[in-house]
Amino acid sequence: MPISSSVFRITITFVAMLTCLVGCSSGNYVPPVNDREPPPGTRLTTHTVAQGETLYSIAWRYNLGFQALADANGIDSDYAIYPGQRLNLTLPTTAYTPKVSLEATPPTVSPVVPSVTSTPSPAPVVVIDKHSASKERSIKTTPEVVKNVVKSGETKSLEWVWPARGNIIATFSSNGGLNKGIDLHGNLGESVLAAAAGKVVYSGAGLRGYGKLLIVKHSDKLLSAYAHNRRLLVKEGDEVASGQKIAEMGSSGTETVKLHFEIRYDGKPVDPLKYLPRR
């Protein structure tokens, strides 16, 4: 018996509705996400301060020097900001000029030239044995502590120590790589130590991808950060000593227990292994 056109239309409508219901109830359905990063190649020009943020954490997020960010927005030397404040992120191109200093580069060993008391003569050509030079450098380098001179109002030295005992599981990526520091393996609750003396300028969990994070200021340009902690043991404004326990290792903001450690000079990530002593 031929099917009438009205029965056929009803059947097709029912099948279409059933297909729609099955598709919507599937576990593969992903609701739209509004909280996304800017498209690749797009750089934000302003930032609205949220509750709990500090000038240091905002500068850290955008790879800017905190002093340059403060100057560009007319912020006093106390670096106080408030929720709802709109900050200009477009800084002058001269805000950061890489320079060679003891803060940015590890100490080097210079050859010793003996004094000459006789009549000056043309300098002789000296051939250096690479194996001997390498051996000499290894003898003169102190394995436990590296001291760098820091210019912060007054001259003082920083003694760097490893922030955790675990092995390195990820190294620093230069040239704008994804890893802006190093990752150290560890166990849940293991001690996290301040790598050098300084002042805590951020303590919280407001930076995406860092979990519970501490940022310590060591000088006018030098900062260090300790991410993915389980528990933070110091607060903003606290002075910490080199080697002091400041947190407990965890997996906040990541899938494995580890410490992500960064050092930044004038807002730019640098390789922490150039500061930490040899193991």
158-209: per-residue pLDDT in tens?
999 999 999 999 999 877 667 899 999 999 999 999 999 999 999 999 999 9
What does the radius of gyration of the chain's CA atoms come to, in whole angstroms? 28
Q: Indicate whether 27 pLDDT > 90.
A: no
| Bridge partners, residue 147, by sequence | 159
Domain assignment of residue 117, yes or no: no
Residue type, 103: E
Q: Indicate whether 100 pLDDT > 80.
A: no
For strands 46-48 and 168-170, give the pairing: unpaired
Is 256 in contact with 262 (CB distance < 8 Å)? no
Mean pLDDT of the chain: 75
Domains of the chain: total: 2
pTM above 0.75, yes or no: no
Tokens 């010793």 -> residue: 112
**pLDDT at residue 108 in the model:** 46
Query: Do residue 78 and residue 162 come from a single domain?
Result: no
**pLDDT at residue 279 in the model:** 87
| pLDDT bracket for residue 5 (50, 70, 90) | low
**Residue whose C-alpha is closest to residue 241's, from 272, 218, 264, 262:** 218
| Bridge partners, residue 1, by sequence | none
What are the residues whose beta carbons fall under 8 Å from the beta carbon of 49, sequence distance 6 or more? 58, 81, 82, 83, 84, 85, 86, 87
For residues 28 and 34, give the distance between their C-alpha atoms in angstroms, rounded to a whole number: 18
Burial of 270 (0-12, 13-18, 19+ CB in 10 A): buried
Q: State the residue range of the domain holding 253.
A: 146-274
The CATH number of residue 59's host domain is 3.10.350.10
Tokens 């100057």 -> residue: 71
Query: Do residue 250 and residue 154 come from a single domain?
Result: yes
Is 232 in contact with 192 (CB distance < 8 Å)? no
Picking from 88, 112, 138, the residue at the C-terminal end of a domain is: 88
Q: Indicate whether 156 pLDDT > 60.
A: no
Domain assignment of residue 168, yes or no: yes
**pLDDT at residue 2 in the model:** 54
